[in-house]
Amino acid sequence: MRVGILGGGQLGWMTILEGRKLGFSFNVLESKKDSPAGRIADRWFHPSEVEEFIKESDLITYEFEHIEDDVLEKVYPKTLPSVEILKIKRSRVREKEFLRKRGYPLAKFEVSTAGELEGKVRTFGFPCVVKSERLGYDGRGQYRLSSADDVKAILKNHPPEEVFVIEEFVDFAFEASRIGVRSTEGEVRIYPTTVNYHHEGILLYNFTDETPYDEEMGRIVESLMEDLGLFGLLAVEFFITKEGKVLINEFAPRPHNTGHYTLDGTYTSQFENLLRAIAGFPLGSTELKVPSGMVNILGLSLEDIDLKGILSVEGAKLYWYGKEKRHRRKMGHVNVVAKDKETLKRKIEEVLKGIYRRPAELTRET
């Protein structure tokens, strides 16, 4: 089976590493060969070679959401999850309207252009979060507003016609996610819940945990996969409010950062199950083998971190993506497993210390 991947990032890299074990080969479409997935692909294709990429791939999937329309128009007959789902996801407006129309629980939201924002946020209320409709990831294009004065900063960076979503600020008790997988043969499995901790809009670490909301989140993931007609992976990020309400923050129809722990913590990783699902193979077990978690390495090089200290934590494993260092960029991650939850939390702390020796590293511009 020759699988084509749209995008050359770390999600593609891990999909290739996992898929080779199944005997699959991989083509990657990405503007730079020198990218995590481009580097290890069987064949790398520049976007100008999209026709050849399609011809050489039996199936196509994506690891990145912001793919040009002209590429999507060409690849759609071979692509899973479908290009239609990707188009919903690429627009925060379409994503939220899709969810609202079908009655999924969401924080209150409204749509506005940058030009109309000032008036609209006044009636919407504060605090609120304003997010650009397109090209947002890792907290990009996102603003927390406590008064209408804060709109000025947005107008400096965006043209007045650009579309935004105004969202209620959710004073959540915690954030969690669940990842579902659905195969073209109709088989469905849901991965365990993880509790997720973000730093300034970017996932910093997460770990598996049991919560009173697991069933409810699982039901939502399963029903959303059906509503979307999705074959492949669906990650759903949730806010659990202080009143115990489960709200969907967003979904992603691809491997997800909060599922990296599945490489070491569950019987089958999210990456392997994505491939099994779209190839029509039986799905692998999503059961947890051992309490596990993950810490992201943001904006640091291998020289910046205490590599020996991290690797000396029993049950810690480093995944290094080999990208050029940039401020707050996801450079790698460390998976951690432990015999029980308390030990796991202690080990995550140790790994965090080994990575962010100087806590200022997290916020400093480089």
Q: Does 175 bind ligand ATP (CB under 6 A)?
A: yes
Supply 287's token pair. 């059961």
User: Which residues pair with residue 61 across a beta bridge?
Assistant: 5
From 7-15, 229-237, 292-300, 331-339, span contacting Mg ion (CB under 5 A): 229-237
The 3-state DSSP class for residue 79 equals strand
- The least CB distance from residue 233 to ligand ATP, in Å, is 15
Under rule CB under 6 A, residue 169 binds ligand ATP: yes
Report if residue 137 touches ligand ATP, rule: CB under 6 A: yes
Tell me how many residues contact ligand ATP (CB under 6 A). Answer: 19
Query: To the nearest whole angstrom, how small is the minimum distance from the Cβ of residue 107 to ligand ATP?
Result: 5
Contacting range for Mg ion; rule: CB under 5 A; set: 10-18, 41-49, 65-73, 236-244: 236-244
Give the range of 20-28, 130-138, 151-159, 307-315 binding ligand ATP by CB under 6 A. 130-138
Cβ contacts of 215-221, under 8 Å, gap ≥ 24: 216/246, 217/176, 217/177, 217/178, 217/193, 217/246, 218/178, 218/180, 218/190, 220/104, 220/105, 220/246, 220/248, 221/178, 221/179, 221/180, 221/190
Strand order in the sheet with 25-29: 43-45, 25-29, 2-6, 59-62
Task: Tell me the window of 152-160, 166-174, 279-287, 292-300 that interacts with ligand ATP (CB under 6 A).
Answer: 166-174
Q: Are strands 2-6 and 25-29 parallel, antiparallel or unpaired?
A: parallel
In the list Mg ion, ligand ATP, none, the entry touching 175 (Cβ below 5 to 8 angstroms by class) is: ligand ATP
Exposed / middle / buried, residue 111 (Cβ in 10 Å: 0-12, 13-18, 19+): middle
Q: Does 95 bind ligand ATP (CB under 6 A)?
A: no
Question: Can you give the binding site for Mg ion, defined by CB under 5 A?
Answer: 237
Residues forming contacts to ligand ATP in the complex (CB under 6 A) are: 107, 129, 131, 136-140, 142, 167, 169-170, 175, 198, 201-202, 237, 249-250
